[in-house]
Amino acid sequence: MNYFRSYHQYAPGWASDSWKATAFLAVFLLLVAFTIFVMPEILAFLLATFIMWAGILLLIVAFKMRSLQKHRHYSTSQVIWF
């Protein structure tokens, strides 16, 4: 019984090429892991970069929320979409 063949027969077109994205992600992660293994100081740089971007994005969200709170007092019937 070959269940994969019966499933693959009804799979959408994008699902048949999804292995390429998975393989690309796997190769990318292996390269990053190897680079960190060879040069551990890069791990500190990557973590610092991630934390910095997270802080920047949280500040943007905080100021957007502040702006929405100011506008909420003027108009209570308006729906705001992000």
Q: What is the pLDDT of residues 3-62, one digit of tens each?
A: 555 555 665 665 556 778 888 889 999 998 999 899 989 889 989 999 999 999 999 999
**Could you give the CA distance from residue 37 to residue 23 in angstroms, rounded to a whole number?**
21
pLDDT tier, 2 (very low <50, low <70, confident <90, very high otherwise): low
What b/e string do you get for 3-42 counting C-beta neighbours within 10 Å, with b at 16 or more?
eeeeeeeeeeeeeeeeeeeeeeeeeeeeeeeeeeeeeeee
Which alpha helices (H) appear in the chain, and where do they start and end? 3-10, 13-16, 18-38, 41-74
pLDDT of residue 13: 62
Of residues 64 and 13, more confidence is placed in 64
Residue with tokens 């690309």: 24
